[in-house]
């Protein structure tokens, strides 16, 4: 097999991305400290056409060489904003009709593969700090908690990896349901 070239992939420009239809998902980043993780979250959000990112609390914002290192320019294509409080950001999104989905291991969470988003809905996916996870107040404010089932000895995945898995799940479900 021959690897695809950049031209074979037919990627769009950042301007075309801004005009393209987006997945009805906003990624809320709650106090993520690693600039490499933030860059990776931008890159993954670009890949799945996330409508925007809201960086909260201690999460740093572009421009940043460290974010750019892993975002590879996605910080220029994916719309983003900063909110001091993740809780306020979640409440504001819920007031706009978003279903707030916390990616966290809690009693009563739903296994990610069992979550079927409504194709007409809008979703806020909340991911959190590399060690502490999502702030407990934010967890309690969310409409649903999603958990990625795991079988190994470690109890969690890196925030950018887990967000990538969850965004792929939402993308695959919403893409099929919306006929994209």
Per residue in 42-65, pLDDT (tens digit) is 999 999 999 999 999 999 999 999
Q: Would you state the pLDDT for residue 178?
A: 61
What the block records as the tokens of 166 is 């969850």
What SS3 class is residue 67?
helix
Is domain 22-148+156-178 classified as CATH 3.40.1280.10?
Answer: yes
Alpha-carbon span 119 to 178, nearest angstrom: 6
Alpha-carbon span 89 to 94, nearest angstrom: 9
Q: Each residue of 155-179: pLDDT tens digit?
A: 889 999 999 999 999 999 998 666 5
Mean pLDDT within 119-144: 97
Angle of helix 159-178 versus helix 35-47 axis, rounded to 10: 10
Alpha-carbon span 19 to 15, nearest angstrom: 7
Alpha-carbon span 6 to 176, nearest angstrom: 26
Q: Would you state the pLDDT for residue 180?
A: 53
Q: Is 137 within 8 Å of 91 (Cβ atoms)?
A: no
The dihedral through the CA atoms of 152, 137, 163, 83 has a sign that is: negative
Alpha-carbon span 20 to 157, nearest angstrom: 31
Whether residue 41 has pLDDT greater than 80: yes
The fraction of the chain above a pLDDT of 90, given in percent, is 84
Confidence band for 96, pLDDT divided at 50, 70 and 90: very high
């Amino acid at each position: 097999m021959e690897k695809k070239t950049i031209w074979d992939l037919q990627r769009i420009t950042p301007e075309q991305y801004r005009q393209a239809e987006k997945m009805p998902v906003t990624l809320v980043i709650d106090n993520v400290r690693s600039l490499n993780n933030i860059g990776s979250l931008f890159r993954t959000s670009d890949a799945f056409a996330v409508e925007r990112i809201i960086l909260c609390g201690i999460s740093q914002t572009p421009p940043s060489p460290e974010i750019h290192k892993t975002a590879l320019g996605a910080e220029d294509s994916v719309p983003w904003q900063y909110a001091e409080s993740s809780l306020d950001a979640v409440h504001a999104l819920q007031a706009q009709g978003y279903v707030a989905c916390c990616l966290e291991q809690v009693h009563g969470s739903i296994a990610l593969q069992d979550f079927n988003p409504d194709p007409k809905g809008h979703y806020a996916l909340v991911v959190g700090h590399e060690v502490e996870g999502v702030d407990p107040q934010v967890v309690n404010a969310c409409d649903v908690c999603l958990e990625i089932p795991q079988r190994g000895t470690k109890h969690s995945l890196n925030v950018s990896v887990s967000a990538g898995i969850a965004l792929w799940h939402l993308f695959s479900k919403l893409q099929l349901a919306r006929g994209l």
